[in-house]
Structure 1
Amino acid sequence: MEIGIVAAKAPVPPTSMDRVLKVNRKTPAAQWNRRMLKTLSLALEKDPEADLLSVLPDVYSKTLAGLREGKSKLPKKTYQPDFLQQDTRSLLQESDTATILSPLSDEVTKLLTNDDNLSRAIIELLGQGEVLFQCPHGFSTIVLRVSEAIAVKVVRDVDNTTEYTSMQYLRDQKSSIPVPRPHGLVKMNKFYLIFMTFISGLDLEEAWSQLEDHQKRDISGQLDVIFSDLRSLPFPKNQPLGGVQGEGCKDARRSIRISSEPIMTLKDFEDFIFSNSNSGSTVYLKFLRRFYSPDQPVPDCVFTHGDIRPANIKATQNEDGSWKVLGIVDWEYSGFYPAYWESLKVTNNLSAIEGSDWYLYLPKCVSPLQYPTRWLLDRVWDQHVA
Structure 2
Amino acid sequence: MSTKSAPKVAPTRPWFRDGNELPAPLPTRVQIETATTEYPSIYNASSRRTVLVNQKFVVKYGPAVFENEGHALLLVESYPHIPAPRLYAMYWEEGKLFIIMEFIAGLRLSDVWQHLSEEEKSTIVDQLRLAFEILRSIPSPGIFGGIFGGPLPHRYFFSLDNEHEVTGPFSAEEDLCRALVLRSARNWESWDRRGWMTDFFARPLPLTLRGHDSVLTHSDFQRKNILIREDYFPSTNPG
Using structure 1 for the length normalisation, give the TM-score: 0.47
Q: Write the deviation string for residues 156-206 of structure 1: whole angstroms up to 9, x where unpaired.
A: 2x433110011112224x233111111111212221110111111111122
What is the CA RMSD across the aligned residues, in angstroms? 3.1
- In structure 2, how many angstroms separate the alpha carbons of the residues matched to 1:109 and 1:189? 26
SS in 2 for 1:163: helix
Contact residue 60 and residue 100 of structure 2 kept, 8 A: yes
Counterparts of 1:1-386 in structure 2, within 5 Å, are 101-106=14-19, 111=25, 122-126=28-32, 129=35, 131-135=37-41, 137-156=44-63, 158-172=64-78, 174-236=79-141, 239-252=142-155, 257=158, 259-275=166-182, 276-277=184-185, 278=188, 279-280=195-196, 286-289=202-205, 291-292=207-208, 298-318=211-231, 321=234
Cα distance change, pair 317–101 in 1 and its aligned pair in 2 (3 A): closer
Partner amino acid, structure 1, of 2:115: Q
SS in 2 for 1:180: coil
- In structure 1, how many angstroms separate the alpha carbons of the residues matched to 2:198 and 2:34? 54
Contact residue 151 and residue 197 of structure 1 kept, 8 A: yes
5+ unaligned residues in a row in structure 2: which ranges? 1-12, 160-165, 189-194
Contact residue 161 and residue 247 of structure 1 kept, 8 A: no
- The runs of 4+ residues in structure 1 deviating greater than 3 Å are 107-110, 127-130, 250-253, 258-261, 280-287, 317-323
SS in 1 for 2:122: helix
- In structure 2, how many angstroms separate the alpha carbons of the residues matched to 1:194 and 1:165? 10
* Count of matched residue pairs: 207
Superposition deviation, residue 132 in structure 1: 3.8
Using structure 2 for the length normalisation, give the TM-score: 0.72
Superposition deviation, residue 151 in structure 1: 2.1
State, as a whole percentage, how many aligned pairs show the same letter. 21
Cα distance change, pair 280–215 in 1 and its aligned pair in 2 (3 A): same
Cα distance change, pair 110–210 in 1 and its aligned pair in 2 (3 A): closer
- In structure 2, how many angstroms separate the alpha carbons of the residues matched to 1:281 and 1:124? 43
- In structure 2, how many angstroms separate the alpha carbons of the residues matched to 1:182 and 1:293? 33
**Larger radius of gyration, structure 1 or 2?**
1
Q: Structure 1 stretch 280-289 or stretch 208-217: which is displaced more?
A: 280-289
Higher RCO (CA < 8 A, seq sep 6+): 2
